[in-house]
Structure 1
Amino acid sequence: MEAVRRNLGHLPPAVARLAASPHTLDGFLQLSALFERTTLDPVAREVVIMTVAARNECHVCVVMHTGKLRALGADEETVAALVAQRPLDDERLEAVRRFTLDVIAASGAAGDESLAAFFGQGFTPQNALEVVMGIGTYTLSAFANRLTRAPLEPTA
């Protein structure tokens, strides 16, 4: 938790609640750090995260990652579409969003058409597995936040 505090300058309530299970907290922190080092670009990673967060109705995740998307320079229409679970105008990012949803719906067994659409936007088999990693990591986060009734952080 000290690393989170140093990195963010404070300890988010969601992290504090997750600490009720040190193994769960440690697992999430390790997985999220690994996901940040994948070959997916930062905006594509955030599209995976926001797709999982919105689908799982994790309001804490949506708020946090909306801020991260904005910090990365994502336009407001992209952010709004992700929050509302609508298709994205950017074809490449829409391929990430759609593929994420297809992987979830098929419990990992995304169809050939889904894979072809994802690969058609320049993504690789490695990227496909990284999407699976992101789904797992942020499903853990969303479920834990919902289970613990993690509150939204107060805004300044």
Structure 2
Amino acid sequence: MERTAAASGRTPSAVARLAESPELLNSFLELSASFERTTLDPVAREVVIMTVAVRNDCHICVNMHTAKLRKLGADAELIAALREGRGLEEAGAGAGAGLEVVRRFTLEVLATAGGVGDEELKAFLAAGYTERNALEVVMGIGTYTMSTLANRLTRAA
């Protein structure tokens, strides 16, 4: 909690609630920091996070990562589409086809519990992503599934 407060100037309520289990909080913070160091670009990472947050109906995560996307300079239409769980092709030119590939791949990994079909994996790779990136998506899903479920369980708002 001290690291989070020092980094953001305050302790978010979600962090305070997760601190009931220091092991969970510390694990999330470490995994989140590791995910930030992956080779996926920052907006692609946020696409993974927002896709998980919307799917898992974690309003606090959606709001926090909306702010992060704005800070990264993401297009308003991209942010709106992610918040609404819409395809990014509907978000106009600002979204880019590559980010829709990340969103669809994230949903496919979730829907198949990692048993992504050959065609879906080929589409991800054909968009310029790598097998390493595919595994990084899995890392983001795991990290933010833990966070979203814990936030919902603790009624973080």
**Letter of the aligned partner of 1:69 in structure 2?**
L
The aligned counterpart of 1:127 is 133
Q: In structure 2, what is the equivalent of residue 154 of structure 1?
A: none
Specify which structure has the bigger relative contact order, considering alpha-carbon pairs within 8 angstroms and separated by 6 or more residues: 1
Where does residue 24 of structure 1 map in the other structure?
24
Aligned residue among 72, 87, 109 for 1:103: 109
1:128 deviation in Å? 0.2
Q: TM-score by structure 2 length? A: 0.95
2:13 corresponds in structure 1 to: 13
TM-score normalised to the size of structure 1?
Answer: 0.96
Distance of 1:27 and 1:114 partners within structure 2 = 30
1:93 corresponds to which residue?
A: 99
Identity of aligned residues (%): 66
Amino acid at match of 1:14: A
Task: Give 1:136's aligned amino acid.
Answer: G
Is structure 2 residue 156 aligned with structure 1 residue 150? yes
How far has the Cα of 1:121 moved from its partner? 1.1
Structure-1 separation of matches of 2:70 and 2:118: 33
What's the counterpart of residue 64 of structure 1? 64
Q: Displacement of 1:117 after TM fit?
A: 1.1
The number of aligned residues is 151
User: Matches of 1:127 and 1:78 in 2, distance apart?
Assistant: 21
Q: Which amino acid is 2:106 matched to?
A: T
- Does 1:74 pair with 2:80? no
Describe the superposition over 1:22-62 as per-residue Cα deviations: whole angstroms up to 9, x where unpaired: 00001000000000000000000000000000000000000
Q: Which runs of 5+ in 1 are unaligned?
A: 152-156
Partner SS, residue 108 of structure 2: helix
Q: Which consecutive residues of structure 2, in runs of 5 or more, have no partner in the other structure?
A: 90-95
Q: Which amino acid aligns with 2:130?
A: T
CA deviation map 1:89-145 (0-9, x unaligned): 221000000000000000011111111111111000000000000000000000000
Tell me which moved more, 81-90 or 43-52: 81-90
Q: Moved runs in structure 1, 4+ residues, more than 4 A? A: none
State the shift of 1:66 in Å: 0.3
